[in-house]
Chains A and B, each alone.
Chain A
Amino acid sequence: MEFFLISMLNSVSYGLLLFMLSSGLTIIFSMMGVLNFAHASFYMLGAYFAYQISGWIGFWPALAIAPLLVGMVGMAVERYGLRTVHKYGHVAELLFTFGLAYLIEEAVHLIWGRSQVPYAVPPSLEGAAFTLFSTDYPIYRVFMMAVSVSMLIGIYLTLTRSRIGLVIQAALTHPQTVETLGHNVPRVFMMVFGGGSALAGLAGVIGGNAFVTEPGMAAAVGPIVFVVVVVGGMGSLAGAFLASLLIGIIQTFSVALDYSIVDLLAKLGITIGPDAPLAVVWNLTISQTGPVLPYLLMVLMLIFRPKGIMGTREG
């Protein structure tokens, strides 16, 4: 019971962090059709900015300033990069962000060096929030969940209730009409891209110290974020939310399952010896494969339901 509850909490908090990361990507994709390969790089920038700023003026100002800075970087990227390649189509945009990811990583190497930086959880958020049976549950994880949920609500309200949200939604489907009405559509796109980047930056601020802040962190989370967006359904925010939680649960609980196909068949009365063909495959336990299950899920999803869980369009 203890293990189940703790694992459930772990999977939800991990899933929520994944959602923070993927929400920006999803919004950008649904508004602009751009699959941003450098999205995880903005996550990394968020962590590094927060590390730098919290060294100067503390964690709480960094929590606000770092995402804003990342957002500004994002806007600059859209204005001076993406807008130029937009005319060559989505594949060119994808390639542009692909190259950008390389460049951001090298820039991080240049500025902050190649090692990890000591970006630590602030003292006020250290320690256990509560103890479940005998396991401590850290305050910081609770804080992560709180930030993530409030961000979800914030996005929802902005998109559905605010004026700018309505303009964004309109610009998505009827850009010309919106333009005739006097709105600057390219600027709207720029702000959407900046906003999406800022969300990734926010995830970096609170993920960077929960895990490790180092130049490889973008490459480490990049693929998994794509998995979330694809499984959830390209461009669907609700889908991304469900997919994040689903992947959080899969990854957390698969670790606990030390069963392999051999064990399963043994229950059914079939025995496979160690000499059987492909014995390695049958002996692989689920816990061993845990971290690659999301990719398997993604491939299966693309084969059988390319729309994703909640998606409305294919590809």
Chain B
Amino acid sequence: MKLTFPHVLLAGLMVSTLSAAPAIGAETVKIGYIDPLSGAFANVGEAGLKQFQFVADDINKRKLAGDVKFEIVPFDNKVSPKESLNVLKNVIDQGIRIITQGNSSGVAGVLIDAINKHNERNPDKSILYLNYAAVDPDFTNSKCSFWHFRFDANSDMKMEAFTNYIAKDPKIKRVYLINQDYSFGHAVARAAKEYLARKRPDIKIVGDDLHPIGKVKDFAPYVAKIKASGADIVISGNWGNDIALLIKAAKDAGLEAPFYTYYGGGIGAMTAMGDAAEGKVKQITEWHANIHPNKTEKFANAFNAKYGGPPANISFYYLRVNNEMYMLANAIKEAKSTDPKAIALKLEGMKYEADTGEVEMRATDHQLIQPLYISTVAKAYHNPKDPKTAKFKGTDPEVKYDQEDSGYGFKTDARIEAYVTAQPTSCQMKRP
């Protein structure tokens, strides 16, 4: 154990559950999970951590990475970019060479920057960064890095999928945009306007609202405005309470227009929206519990059986976490090495048969190209023969599972194939 100042202070006080020993054996690969584990967004970070641990256990049990075992080491970054840098130094100190992070593009940008600098200054101690949820398109365009791999579709790809779907519906003539006033919200609004103008020039953007993030308590005035504009649909990149409050206000005012959202099914959102979301909220994801065919069903059920109960009510959500970990295992097996550079070279261009079809880690920009699903909130199916569905009220057998024990699940509207979502990239990757 390395002697560090705070540990000396605390040694007598607490038995540390964290060992600071730099241990990277041939057997165990530690993966630093950097996400919020305390404070306001801790529930999101906690849900992600559980999924990583669950899939790591699966890989270890089935020896998918050969003799190498995975261990997920959680680090709390309090969703603060600065704190993430401190955490990164801690990770490096502990000899951990692979990190994964997802919440907040702000944090992701800082990490990419810091890892580039670190790897340049210490080529023999390079760090690999696997991004499972930060969707700023820049990370695989202007800011792309050899050390960064993104397993989620970026926000432009999701918008491409949404607008493809919207363009096919001739009844949609008027579109309203409402987003949070920061870089991600701006990116969503910009992409929506650009892509709709290209695919359906007849569609009119009847509103383009940007509101401060997390500051609006009452969305009723926005809903009144949407209503007055006569919009057919609303597109929103809002997340957290900003989406839940918006949907609730829309229901109260009897607004009929459906909401095309990025995070309408995000962690905690279903609980907060309750029945206000039914039939009205659409989301775009790489997976949801009621896709058909659903090869992940057994895995998700096993996960939910373990973590689904109260109080946390975590539902399996990120198929991309599985993709990330399985692909990492494959890369290690193929490279016969746990060195980040060797792994990265194998991950580049890797094709993988995921549960939803073939996915590819595009070598030019390290963006995973994968099929996406557009789905709508619906009542989960009440199967008279299955006592587990006793409190469900739906009649559509396709909606087999609910989310977060809310009684509501998602029903697929469309599957968007991987090649459709692929976007050209401006990335000029510097390889070591």
Contact = CB atoms under 8 A, between A and B. Distances in A.
Interface of A: 2-3, 6-7, 10-11, 13-14, 109, 112-118, 120, 128, 131, 134-138, 140-141, 210-212, 214-216, 219-221, 224, 251-253, 255-256, 287-288, 290-292
A109 B42 CA distance: 10
A7 to B, nearest CB: 5
Contacts of B268: 115-116, 214
Given A10-B218, A116-B272, A138-B253, 8 more contacts: A113-B311, A114-B43, A115-B43, A136-B252, A137-B253, A251-B221, A288-B212, A291-B212
B209 A128 contact: no
Given A291-B211, A291-B212, A128 B254 contact: yes
A252 B244 contact: no
B241 A138 contact: no
B406 A118 contact: yes
B39 to A, nearest CB: 8
B254 A212 contact: no
A135 B211 CA distance: 23
Among B214, B221, B224, B311, the most chain A Cβ lie within 10 Å of the Cβ of: B221
A156 B205 CA distance: 49
Interface residues of B, number: 38
A292 B210 CA distance: 13
Interface of B: 40, 42-43, 46, 181, 209-212, 214-218, 220-222, 224-225, 227-228, 241, 244-245, 248, 252-254, 267-268, 271-272, 274-275, 311-313, 406
A211 B271 contact: no
Contacts of A252: 218, 220-221
A3 B267 contact: no
B43 A10 contact: no
Contact of A141 (B209, B210, B215, B252): B252
Contact of A116 (B224, B244, B253): B244
Given A114-B42, A212-B245, A220 B313 contact: no
Nearest to A215: B40
Contacts of A131: 254
Contacts of A114: 40, 42-43, 46
A256 B228 CA distance: 10
A6 B253 contact: yes
Contacts of B313: 115
19 contacts: A2-B228, A3-B227, A10-B221, A14-B218, A109-B42, A117-B271, A118-B274, A128-B254, A136-B254, A210-B248, A211-B245, A211-B248, A212-B245, A252-B220, A252-B221, A255-B211, A256-B225, A287-B209, A287-B211
A288 B211 contact: yes
A288 B244 contact: no
Contacts of B211: 255, 287-288, 290-291
Contacts of A220: 214-215, 217, 241
Contacts of B248: 210-212
B274 A3 contact: no
Contact of B224 (A135, A210, A251): A135
A288 B252 CA distance: 23
A224 B217 contact: yes
- Residue in A131, A140, A220 whose Cβ sees the most chain B Cβ within 10 Å: A220
B43 A3 contact: no
Given A113-B311, A115-B268, A211 B218 contact: yes
Given A115-B271, A141-B252, A214-B241, A292 B212 contact: yes
A107 to B, nearest CB: 14
Contacts of B245: 211-212
Nearest to A138: B252
B254 A3 contact: no
Nearest to B242: A212
A7 B227 CA distance: 11
Contact of B271 (A109, A116, A138, A219): A116
A117 B313 CA distance: 10
B91 to A, nearest CB: 24
A135 B218 contact: no
